[in-house]
Structure 1
Amino acid sequence: MKIIHLSSNKIWGGVERYILDLAIAQRKSGENVAIFTKGHPLTDSPFIQNGFEVGRLRLNGVLDFISPVKLANYIGRHSEDDVIIHAHNFKNAITAVRTKSLCRNKNVKVVTTLHFRKKAHTSAFWSFIYGRIDKIIFVSEIIKKIFLEPTPKIKMLQTAVVYNSVIVPKKVDADMHVQDGCLPKIVYTGRVCEDKGIEVLINSISLLKDIPFMLHVVGTGDADYMSYLGEMSERYGVADKIVWEGHKRDVYPSIADAYVGVAPSICIEAFGLTIIEFMSQGVPVVASDNGAQPEIITNGEDGMLVSPSSPEQLAAAIRKLLMDEKLRSRMGRNARLTFESKFSYPKFFAEMQAIYQSVISQKSKL
């Protein structure tokens, strides 16, 4: 089987990591994998470094008729009769569907993963595109529900929910920071932006000044916003309680010795990769409850859920975990068990491969 991933983002992010991890696992299982991008060095480099064939396409959606022709020609030059084109947004799905229509002498199927919150279109054009996608994968039940709210012409058999996963290192050595002085460690990982609730987090830790801790922020954002957050931490009197670690490709050393992980998003999260990263290391997470988080965390069992934009609730939950070692240990153990049973990479990969095999065996939708 030939598997082709389409990625059109300009910067490296969670979707690109999802593609890379999946492509590596597919290659290990014996599949022939190629990746097509728009040719941005920041996204191409990790794929190339991992030994993948990276092709370039315009991937410009509705008005792009060149990319399907080029991709169809590429498929025609290879011997595999069974081909999966896996698009990672609906703009790229247009290219995939058009390519499929040009490859009538091959068994080409289209799989599309929706990684973000989005409502379906109901126009005739999009009904045509949706109808020729063989499987639409949603990364959570809530994202599927939001997408289907406008009642597009999509058969339920075309849809599937496959929770995201991460490949966990076999051994993780914790980072050591002289700033800490071995203080209890709270960790945030991910993009630093308003939607992720960083301001709520800074406000919340200002309510914890009476107990020892250090907050580590692993990630970065816009320079002006980072400057604003620095000023905010000064105003709230917690500048000396925050370690700004910046962006790290490997976050596990930063979270391995965390007492508590935090995911205080104020936007609706499609999933929450950072949450399961913490869980994989046995670290309990305090997360907002306004997206897929309740599908990941059982409140009070393997983590804690709080209302978004509530520094008081966030602070209370963090305080409870920092001050109660038995509770923290129990939730951490349960978090690891939840990860292993529901979100491990072997489970995710088996579900993805089953979808690929099922669509390959279906009659083509031309």
Structure 2
Amino acid sequence: MINVFHIVSNKIWSGPEQYAYDLALRLRNDDNYYIEVVCKKSEAVFNKFRSLEIPVSILPLKGLTDLDSPVRFARLLKRGQNIIHVHTFHDAFAAIWAKHIAENPNTRIVLTLHGVNRPRINYLSKKVYRDLDRIVFVSQRSYDEFVPRITRLDRKKCVIVRDSVLPARSEKLAQAPQLRQQLGIGSDQALIMYHGRLSHDKGLDVLLRAITQLDSSKYHLVILGEGNHKYVAQQKAFIVANQLVHNVTFLGFSDNVQAYIRQCDFGVLPSVVPEALGLSNLEYMMHGKAHIATNNGAQLEYLENGKNALLVDPDNPYELAQAIEQLTTDAVLRSRIGMQARHDFNDHLNYDTFYKQMTELYASLFKAP
């Protein structure tokens, strides 16, 4: 049996936490693995992982200057075959220190990089890269932005394993309220959905500028997610100033997003910054929903304009408005794109494919060279 320890140090729930959660959910039912999570003292994150009914340890996880966390964590690594799976660069420090303190030669460290980021190239960072056993990139785009910029990096350690999303349980999908009925949305209005972090990076303000150009009788936009209070307040003020109050509803954070996706006509994900993968995109695809995305990140690796999505330039409200208008008025196009998206997800983007690749990676770390 292989012991897998996921370290997640964010205090809020975001993409890396969901990645670790979904993987832990699958690993806990796999007889080949023991799974445990290490996190900060954050009620939201701690309680979410505890719901999996697996061991969850709380450590400070303060980065390079934190010596307490690796000392305490090392106690978990004294025996067996151990994999420490970290999701941020600064958590790699704690993992490396803990490995050295534990003095167990059967301990490996895996870092998944969830963004499109250039690497740090100072002396200490290069030493961290050397001490890692695998660096996992969630797309070719994230790999290309990172790996060529580091001289003498062992590229055998660098692998691309595209992440995916797990389908929600049927009983959970049934728990969400009926949006059309709750919000009074008519059958002649398209129910449009945005979900994710509420920020300029994700393009929410671009989306709101875009819908000012649309016929207000033809759509209703539902927004799921949380963000910086000042930014959210600015967007709500924009909605009031542009008389969109009856066309836009903020529903806040939900841990049952897929239940809402199933009810929408199509989604809009207008990210301004390049996406390393775009798990939100995959959620629409999984449920057979058309969606609009930007063409500036790894979306281009699995989305084709007009086939399984509509793609637009980032930070371009005029082009985005045209795409929204197209899907709002053409139900046949929505259906065709959604059907193709579901086929592509089931064919090569599904979670079973990701899980098989990840567990094969885990097992390979203990095979003789």
Q: Please state which band the TM-score falls in when normalised by the shorter chain.
A: over 0.9
Rounded Cα–Cα distance in structure 1 between residues aligned with 2:230 and 2:116:
26
1:65-214 correspondence to structure 2 within 5 Å: 65-76=67-78, 79=79, 81-171=80-170, 172-173=173-174, 175-176=178-179, 177-182=182-187, 183-209=189-215, 212-214=218-220
Report the secondary structure of 2:201's partner residue: helix
**Which range moved further: 276-285 or 90-99?**
90-99
1:348 matched to 2:354? The reply is yes
Shift of 1:106: 4.1
Equivalent in the alignment of 2:65: 63
Instruction: Decide whether the 8 Å contact of 2:28 with 2:54 is kept in 1.
Output: no
Equivalent in the alignment of 1:10: 11
Report the secondary structure of 1:195's partner residue: coil
Shift of 1:23: 0.7
Instruction: Decide whether the 8 Å contact of 1:131 with 1:153 is kept in 2.
Output: no
Task: Summarize deviations over 1:170-226 as a string: whole Å, max 9, x none.
Answer: 534473333312321111011111211111111111111166111111113233322
Equivalent in the alignment of 2:331: 325
Instruction: Decide whether the 8 Å contact of 1:97 with 1:110 is kept in 2.
Output: yes
**Root mean square deviation, CA, Å:** 1.7
Task: Summarize deviations over 1:115-154 as a string: whole Å, max 9, x none.
Answer: 1232112222222211121110011111111122422432
Q: Which runs of 5+ in 1 are unaligned?
A: none
Rounded Cα–Cα distance in structure 2 between residues aligned with 1:131 and 1:246:
42
User: Normalising by structure 2, what TM-score?
Assistant: 0.93
User: Normalising by structure 1, what TM-score?
Assistant: 0.93
Rounded Cα–Cα distance in structure 2 between residues aligned with 1:309 and 1:255:
24
1:278 matched to 2:284? The reply is yes
Task: Summarize deviations over 1:253-277 as a string: whole Å, max 9, x none.
Answer: 2111222110011112222111111
Shift of 1:341: 1.8
Number of matched residues? 360
Moved over 4 A (4+): none
Rounded Cα–Cα distance in structure 2 between residues aligned with 1:105 and 1:269:
37
- Structure 1 residues 56, 194: CA separation in 2 closer, same or farther (over 3 Å shift)? same
- Structure 1 residues 270, 105: CA separation in 2 closer, same or farther (over 3 Å shift)? closer
Task: Summarize deviations over 1:81-126 as a string: whole Å, max 9, x none.
Answer: 2111101111111121222223334411111100123211222222
Shift of 1:303: 0.2
Given residue 19 of structure 2, which amino acid in structure 1 is its aligned partner? Y
**Which range moved further: 226-235 or 87-96?**
226-235
Shift of 1:231: 1.7
Q: Which runs of 5+ in 2 are unaligned?
A: none
Rounded Cα–Cα distance in structure 1 between residues aligned with 2:232 and 2:184:
20
Rounded Cα–Cα distance in structure 1 between residues aligned with 2:278 and 2:238:
26
Rounded Cα–Cα distance in structure 1 between residues aligned with 2:12 and 2:130:
30
Report the secondary structure of 2:90's partner residue: helix
Shift of 1:156: 1.6
Given residue 68 of structure 1, which amino acid in structure 2 is its aligned partner? P
1:42 to 41, 44, 62: 44
Instruction: Decide whether the 8 Å contact of 2:199 with 2:227 is kept in 1.
Output: yes
1:240 matched to 2:220? The reply is no
Given residue 77 of structure 2, which amino acid in structure 1 is its aligned partner? I
Report the secondary structure of 2:6's partner residue: strand
Instruction: Decide whether the 8 Å contact of 2:218 with 2:328 is kept in 1.
Output: no
Instruction: Decide whether the 8 Å contact of 2:77 with 2:99 is kept in 1.
Output: no
2:367 to 355, 361, 366: 361
- Structure 1 residues 68, 168: CA separation in 2 closer, same or farther (over 3 Å shift)? same
Rounded Cα–Cα distance in structure 2 between residues aligned with 1:48 and 1:146:
35
Instruction: Decide whether the 8 Å contact of 1:35 with 1:55 is kept in 2.
Output: yes
Report the secondary structure of 1:136's partner residue: strand
Instruction: Decide whether the 8 Å contact of 1:130 with 1:153 is kept in 2.
Output: no
Rounded Cα–Cα distance in structure 2 between residues aligned with 1:59 and 1:223:
26
Rounded Cα–Cα distance in structure 2 between residues aligned with 1:125 and 1:223:
36
**Which range moved further: 286-295 or 204-213?**
204-213
Rounded Cα–Cα distance in structure 2 between residues aligned with 1:149 and 1:159:
11
